[in-house]
Structures are given as C-alpha cells and as structure tokens.
Amino acid sequence: MNPMDFIESLDPQILLGASVAVIVIVAAAFLFSSKKAKGCLDPQNFKDFKLVKRTQLSHNVAKFKFELPTSSSILGLPIGQHISCRGKDSQGEEIIKPYTPTTLDCDVGYFELVIKMYPQGRMSHHFREMRVGDHLAVKGPKGRFQYEPGQLERLGCLLEALESLQCSRFLGQY
C-alpha cells in the first residue's frame, strides 16, 4: 500500500485531529525554543544611538527617533525603568538626565523620546541642537521599581482599601 492510499483510507476527522496536533506541537516547540531578544542597553556604560528622525510636535516639544544597532534589536527597558542620557549644555559642560522612552520592546529596531525643551534647561539645549545623524549617549536600565506580573492588581486593592478608609473617616466626622 502506498502512502497516498493509506492517507485516503483514514477517517477525515482523525486526519484533521492529527494535523492540528502536529501544528500545535510545532508551534509550541518554536515558542519555547525562541529566546526573548536581549536588549542593547548597558547599565554601566554609555552607548551611542543615532538620531534618525526628529518630529516637532509643538513650539517646545519634539519626538526623537533613535536607531538601535540592528533592525531586530530591542532596547530592553523593563516596565517602570528609565534611561540616562548624556549631553552638553550651552556652556559645553556635560549633563546627564533620566528619560523614559515612549516606545516598548515590541518596537524593534528603534526607540523614541518625547522631550519638552525648556528655555533655560541644560539638557534641553542638547536636544534643541540635535540634528538627524547626531548621536545620543544612553545607559540603562535605571530605577528601583521592579514590575512583576499581577502587581497592578495588588496596587488596585490597596488603593480601594485606602479609599474606603478615607470615606469612613469623612463620614465619621458628620
């Protein structure tokens, strides 16, 4: 019996079930074997990222889009963390300030910062002077907050309890 005769002799439901099982096994193997991409940040050393686009959003706010090392790179910034950016003020002195990108790790190949530039802001001067092709020195991730799945639900319960306490205090005064 050749293989085609054997396949044609099978019940269509069994054939469909076997096909679905094979697809699920292959998909699961792919998901479990693929590792999460490593971010390109370094918490100890500054790395330069090239400015590829600058979009003026208002008279003093601009969006800066920076290129990551490859088109498949991710920044690797955990939720609740920020980056440190290094630049020079109008006097040429080095300045370092924290910023939080507006992009996530699902945005591969780039990250964006939305920056409000203040007239006397020291780092604002650096961003005002940046042109496409310039580089920004960045290191991170930085920050003490470590997000864990389910943490926001626990925070919501705490806030509800505090709200109830405040309401009971308020009602107890009258």
Phi, psi values for residue 172, rounded to 5°: -70, -20
> In the 3-class helix/strand/coil scheme, how is 118-155 assigned residue by residue?
CCCCHHHHHHHHCCCCCEEEEEEEECCCCCCCCHHHHH
Please indicate if the annotation marks 98 as binding a ligand: yes
DSSP letters spanning 146-158:
---TTHHHHHHHH
Please indicate if the annotation marks 123 as binding a ligand: yes
Contact by Cβ (8 Å): 43, 142: yes
**Placement of tokens 């955990």 in the chain:** 78
Please indicate if the annotation marks 101 as binding a ligand: no
Please indicate if the annotation marks 124 as binding a ligand: yes
Please indicate if the annotation marks 130 as binding a ligand: no
Question: Which token pair is 40?
Answer: 């390109």
Please indicate if the annotation marks 117 as binding a ligand: no
Give the residue numbers of the binding site for FAD: 98-99, 114, 116, 123-124
Residue ranges of the annotated binding site are 98-99, 114, 116, 123-124
